[in-house]
Amino acid sequence: MRIVDVIIKKRDGKELTDEEIKFVIKELVDGRLESSQLGAMLMAWYFNGMNARELSVLTNTMTHSGDTLSWPDEWKPVLVDKHSTGGVGDKISLILAPALAACGLKVPMVSGRGLGFTGGTLDKLEAIPGFKVDLTLEEMQQCLADSGCCICGQTATLVPADRIMYATRDITGTVENANFVTASIISKKAAENVSALVLDVKVGRASFSQTLDDARHLAKNLVGAARDQGMLTKAVLTSMDHPLGMTVGNSLEVIEAISGLKGKGPEDLNELVAIQGALLLHATGKADNIDQGRDLILETLKNGAALNRFEKMLINQNVQPGVAHELCYGNAESVLPREKYSSPLVTSISGYVVDLDALAIAQVCGALGAARARASDIILPAVGVQLNVKVGQAVVEGQVWGELKHECEVVPKNLWKKLQDAISISLTQQTIEVSRILEIIE
């Protein structure tokens, strides 16, 4: 079999056999695939697509292209994870993982860093002094045994096919493809050997899926591929036009997550933590129905059980016990990096907030150092925006609607204008969305 023949076959719109797909991935991982050939293969797939069988075979082959995680047999029924397609202010994982652990589940969450306009889950956690994201399998097992959850990065030997493919997708214009996104996400989750998975598929201007139809298509792809790999899976479509919660930026989001773990988080954040947790508790038999699952998750936030698990996770991931305790039960701001400058954002008219542009806010924060444009960029964890208002709220002229936290003494005029324009105020009150949950895909 020759790679060029497989490329030509898919270039001409034909289906690939199981053996041809497996051959491509083996050649890739073994280092025998030229970069130009990989680019051509990706482009052929990008334009001519793949059917459900091809996607399932690609995902499974990527899953087993390297090591897979192994756990004690008694953990198998309670091993779960979640994945978000990415959003602005999305600190759900920091609350959900310990809440699930407090309910008796095991959560080996392999997460990622942000690239583009927003920081990833690992970037948020790395704002905590000492937090270690690179764990061995033995360290992950210890963390799960003690705290019930860990949040760590992908190892070099876990799904190496995805790591190689993504690097090429990033430079060949093939990142934004539902099949590639599906294979990338599900292969990593399947390699964790979890029994149940919940997917948070964001919809809106600050997400991968701009429309509800696009999100449905992606969610159905993801759910189908995950079930093919033996995971009980559901997807929640959630809106991402406005920031989630009241903070954007790594240190700020950690502080808000701590508030959430104390049962004091904003309503929209609590809503998404509760529904995603409920779906996993129901899937694993820990809850008889979704409503009971929601109640169980929210109770762990109110009674301190989730916060206790979070503190244990921090200590197991190299945070000094005194630092972990101060972060969780003392003054969190004293532990985390602080900004050099804080600038108020002020309303120009009175009225009702009808929009807070999540994409614009994230782009400004990212440009000031809260995210990275290149993998080599250094994150400035204190950079971000603290919001003081939500969509639908009444405001008066001159009211401070947010605070920009920044490291540079002077914020570039174009970024300041973009941030000021991120809020839209109407003279009349308008109907706003009550829930961020748009749909559940089963």
User: Mean pLDDT throughout 169-189?
Assistant: 89
Q: What is the pLDDT of residues 195-229, one digit of tens each?
A: 999 999 999 999 888 999 999 999 999 999 999 99
- How crowded is the C-beta side of 339, counted as CA atoms within 13 Å? 23
CA–CA gap between residue 226 and residue 82 (Å, rounded): 12
Let me know if 357 is a catalytic residue.
no
Query: How far is residue 122's CA from residue 106's CA, in Å, rounded to a whole number?
Result: 19
Q: Which residue has the higher pLDDT, 163 or 75?
A: 75
The neighbouring-strand residues paired with 103 are: none
Is 162 labeled as catalytic in the residue annotation?
A: yes
Say which of 83, 163, 309, 436 is annotated catalytic.
83
pLDDT band at 12 (very low <50, low <70, confident <90, very high): very high
- Per-residue pLDDT at 439 exceeds 90: yes
- Apex 339 CA angle, 342 and 126, nearest 5: 140
Stretch among 95-104, 106-115, 188-197, 258-267 having the lowest mean pLDDT = 106-115
Structure tokens that stand for 28 in this block:
């890739």
Selected catalytic residue, list 10, 124, 188, 202: 188
DSSP string, 212-223: HHHHHHHHHHHH
Size of the chain in residues: 442
Residue 367 burial by Cβ neighbours in a 10 Å radius (0-12, 13-18, 19+): middle
With bands split at pLDDT 50, 70 and 90, how would you rate the model's confidence at 99?
very high
Least confident of 46-60, 109-123, 299-313: 109-123
Choice among 65, 93, 111, 184 that is catalytic: 184
Q: What is the rounded average pLDDT of the residues 361-380? A: 88
* Listed residue (149, 95, 86) closest to 114, CA to CA: 86
Assess whether pLDDT exceeds 70 at residue 116: no
Catalytic residue, chosen from 169, 234, 312, 405, is 169
Residue 124 falls in the annotated catalytic set: no
pLDDT tens digit string along 239-284? 999 999 999 999 999 999 999 999 999 999 999 999 999 999 999 9
Q: Is residue 51 very low, low, confident or very high in pLDDT (cuts 50, 70, 90)?
A: very high
Q: Is 370 exposed, middle or buried (0-12, 13-18, 19+ CB in 10 A)?
A: buried
- pLDDT band, very low/low/confident/very high, at 373 (cuts 50, 70, 90): confident
User: What does the pLDDT read at residue 77?
Assistant: 97
- The band of 176, judged by pLDDT with boundaries at 50, 70 and 90, is confident
Residue 425 has pLDDT above 90, yes or no: yes
Q: Which pLDDT value is given to residue 117?
A: 67
Residue 355 pLDDT grade (very low, low, confident, very high; cuts 50, 70, 90): very high
DSSP structure class, residue 78: G
pLDDT at 289 over 90: yes
- The mean pLDDT value for 277-300 works out to 98
Active site residue 76: no
Residue 120: is its pLDDT beyond 90?
no
| Confidence bin at 174 (pLDDT 50/70/90) | confident
Q: What is the mean pLDDT of residues 365-380?
A: 86
Rounded mean pLDDT, 10-15: 97
Average pLDDT value for residue range 150-156: 91
Verify whether residue 90 is a known catalytic residue: no
3-state secondary structure (DSSP) of residue 431: coil
Mean pLDDT across 171-196: 91
Phi, psi of 203 (to 5 degrees): -130, 130
Place of tokens 């605070």: 403
CB atoms within 10 A of CB 94: 24
Catalytic residue, chosen from 123, 162, 268, 357, is 162
Mean pLDDT across the chain: 95
Half-sphere exposure at residue 143, Cβ-oriented, CA atoms within 13 angstroms: 27
pLDDT at 281: 98
Q: Quick one: pLDDT at residue 255?
A: 98
Residue ranges of E strands in 252-397? 341-346, 351-356, 384-387, 394-395
HSE (side-chain half, CA atoms, 13 Å) at 278: 19
pLDDT reading at 64 higher than 70: yes
